[in-house]
Structures are given as structure tokens and as C-alpha cells.
Amino acid sequence: MTDKVTVLDIGIHNITMTEAVNRAENFIAKKVPHLIATANAEMVMMAQTDSELATILNTADLVVPDGAGVVWAARHHGYTMPERVAGYDLVQRLLAEAAVKGYRIYMFGSAPGIVEQAKQAAEQKYQGVQIVGTRNGYFTAQDEPAIIEHIKASKPDILLAALGVPKQEKWLHKNLAALNIPLAIGVGGSFDVMAGNVKRAPLWMQHANIEWLYRLLSQPQRIIRMSALPRFMLKVIAAKKG
């Protein structure tokens, strides 16, 4: 099994959830900055026309296959990709490990009030977890130095950034060295789910790789964003034929 596969010129690690958690913990142990990206079909499609995002993904320390479309694409090209590694589930696994091993967490992003609700939910679910700071995702360029200083002063081991794609990946990449945090992850809408504002698909739909359908049915306004999936599939098929 190769360590990394290429889907539309974006390198994605061929990895299981357990292996992803182990790598994340190795990054924390090394005490130097690392970036994890969670790639789904929408992100890969964005990277086709956003060279900055493409470069960030191809230089990230770990890119997990966060989406059924990405797993399908890898398998369509003949790779044996074992499973989807959903970003939300990876965050939950890391929070559980943090509660046991004492990793310090900083939660950055989402709308005002949401990140605090997500923090409370995490503290209830993962007894003993240390969430050492929060900050919502509404800020200007002038606010950034103070945000960076606050994050650094909190001394987290893991920074969870929920700023949306591709803003979170670009912000983390730009500020990774200045933050000097062992592990930074772009987590998309994870705080909204943790806070209870957005529900995930039932487990059977997750296991059947049709969580996207649940999202579309429950949030019809996502239809334009979700159109990335069929366009992605057509592009993958065309790339194989070419």
C-alpha cells in the first residue's frame, strides 16, 4: 500500500482512522509545527483553480481522505484506500486522547457563541479534557496579531481551526511558524455539529457513504456547494480515460 495517492493532482494519504490518530500524536510528540488537512471532493475541486490551496495541500504533513468521493476516486484509479477518515471523527478521536493524555486544545473559529457551546459539549463528553482557549472566527486583518498572541500564550498542543475551506487552510499555513504549535487542523463545520446546531447523518448513511445526501436534504441551500461532487466524479473519470 502506498503512503500517498494522487487524486486530480492532489496528494492524499492512504491511511486508516487509527493510523491518522497515531500520526497526529507523533506530530504532537515532536513539538514542532505540523498541519493536517481534511480533503473531500469539494476541497480537491477548489484546488483545481486555486493554486495556493493546491500547494498547501501538497505540502501539508498529513492529508486525510475526508469524503466518500475522495475514497471512490482513489479506488477508481486502482488504489486500495482502506476507509474514509472523516475530519469530524478525527477531531473526536483526538479530543478523547487529549482527555486521557493531557493534550491542550485551542478552538478557533465558527460564529460567536458557537465555539463556546462546542467547548462546553466537549468538556461534558470528554471528562478532563483541557480546552485552554477559544476565539470565534469573525476577525479582520488588524485582529490577527492579537489572535496569534492569544493562541501562543495559551500553549496548546492542538489548534482546531473552523474557518471554512479554503480560509482555514490558508490561515494556518500562513501563520504556522508564528504560532509554533505542534499540530494545527482545519476542521470546517465541526464546531457547529459539536454545539448541536447541525446534525450529522445517521450512522447507516455514514457507513453507506451517502452522508452528502443527508446534508443536501437537511440543508437544501448547500446545493450549489454539493454540485462539486458530480463535477469531481466526471473529472476523475475523464482523467482516468486520458
The pLDDT of residue 217: 53
* Residues 6 or more apart in contact with residue 237 via CB below 8 angstroms: 76
The pLDDT of residue 1: 44
The pLDDT of residue 229: 76
Rounded CA separation 56/171 (Å): 11
CA-to-CA dists, residue 9 to 45, 55, 78, 95, angstroms: 10, 10, 15, 32
The total number of structural domains that make up the chain: 1
Rounded CA separation 100/130 (Å): 10
Q: Low-confidence residues of the chain, pLDDT below 70? A: 1-2, 199-227, 241-242
Rounded CA separation 190/45 (Å): 21
Task: Check if the beta carbon of residue 66 is closer than 8 Å to that of residue 85.
Answer: yes
SS3 sequence, 26-58? HHHHHCCCCEEEEECHHHHHHHHHCHHHHHHHH
If you count them, how many residues does the chain have? 242
Domain membership of residue 26 as a residue range: 4-241
